Structure 1
């Protein structure tokens, strides 16, 4: 990287600031189960938390799927997508599996297609760090500065720690996302399955609620009674189907 090796200590990011960023990221993403939503939260939190960083972006490459892009500011979103091919800091970091950057884009010969556009948008310095998420997704988080010579070795260290922490958090988000999809598929199968579907229909009629809420009611009853879901459904259907005495 073309960054100064020994800036004044006052210019480096403090350990407490980095710890606060990682803590806020954890709190912001710990319950998220949508990957794109998680990326949006990550870039926004990072931009707001780091002194000297005016924008933040994330580029994610997914096996068999279109690339995912998130930007803390819409005007810079194009810098993180694939329109420039592999000739960008983010793609450079992903390809080389190491952090790359420049503290002054005005004197930067790399990324010949990307750098002029970045400068037009007000970017003067950049750091991009690779992020390993899982066996299907890799990416890079990119920190942008609006002034030259403000990105320091402290920012480099923060970017490295951020990339490692973000990889763990995003992997957990991906896992929750997959689990949610599987749960939805199981629910869909249950709703179309004989007596359980009938029981759900009964609850929907009685309570005026949607199918998913009715299925949750059925699950709660099964848990409370410690009996299988199918048995609860059979009892309910049997009860409402039983002829009433005149």
Structure 2
């Protein structure tokens, strides 16, 4: 069932109310695609392309058709969504039937019922760029007013996506740091056990852990955790 059109201002306001500490990056991307599909006049389907280096992928989409049209471009390494992600510009395909820049893709899109498209560049950050891809069911589906709405929405979405991506990256880094601290703690505990048993220096204790790791093809952290666990199990209980 087709969803009713949403006022662009209401859609942007809804996007602005999203709290990044209460939503994942994937959820944010899906929300952007859904709101864009509801707010851009003439839109049939929407997807969000992200590009890192030479690799592109569809991070959110409102239909399988949108995802398939994106993925064809990734496979061919050419198409409006990829060009817009590089330039940061808006690329319009008013009529797939007469499109000459990407004839193969245009023919495929037209056969699937997509007759026009907009690709709005989203300069998220240096390492990751993207596009908001808006697909129309009829030729010339996007008049100047619709293009303006899409561009305003894309600019707002780019900021939201950049913030969400930064928040997600910081959260991931914090998790990695916590894991590293836990790993270091258990390794230090294991070194202490070896030093107590062998009366050796910290360097020698770590060298022994490393040798066991290499001989058993296990991570140093796993070797250390096993040693600590055995020491705890072998400790006499009080009481």
Shorter-chain TM-score range: 0.5 to 0.7
User: Is residue 43 from structure 1 mapped to residue 37 from structure 2 by the alignment?
Assistant: no
Q: CA–CA distance in 2 between the matches of 1:58 and 1:46?
A: 10
SS of residue in 2 equivalent to 1:48? helix
- Per the normalisation by structure 2, the TM-score is 0.67
Q: What pairs with 1:96-175 in structure 2 (closer than 5 Å)? A: 96-175=87-166
Give the aligned partner of residue 52 of structure 2. Answer: 62
- Per the normalisation by structure 1, the TM-score is 0.65
Rate the CA distance shift 1:96–1:24 in 2: closer, same or farther, 3 A: same
Q: CA–CA distance in 2 between the matches of 1:143 and 1:189?
A: 42
1:86-141, CA deviations, whole angstroms, 9 ceiling, x for partnerless residues?
2x121222344321112222222221111011112110111111110011111111
Gapped regions of structure 2 (runs ≥ 5): 1-5, 190-237
Aligned match for 1:52, one of 39, 42, 45: 42
User: Is residue 26 from structure 1 mapped to residue 16 from structure 2 by the alignment?
Assistant: yes
Give the aligned partner of residue 179 of structure 2. Answer: 188
Count of residue correspondences: 185
Gapped regions of structure 1 (runs ≥ 5): 1-15, 198-242
Rate the CA distance shift 1:109–1:164 in 2: closer, same or farther, 3 A: same
Q: CA deviation at 1:32?
A: 5.7
Rate the CA distance shift 1:51–1:172 in 2: closer, same or farther, 3 A: same
Runs of 4 or more off by more than 4 Å in structure 1?
A: none
Rate the CA distance shift 1:89–1:170 in 2: closer, same or farther, 3 A: same
Larger radius of gyration: 2
Q: What pairs with 1:199-238 in structure 2 (closer than 5 Å)? A: none
Q: CA RMSD in A?
A: 3.0
Rate the CA distance shift 1:185–1:54 in 2: closer, same or farther, 3 A: same
Q: CA deviation at 1:190?
A: 4.2
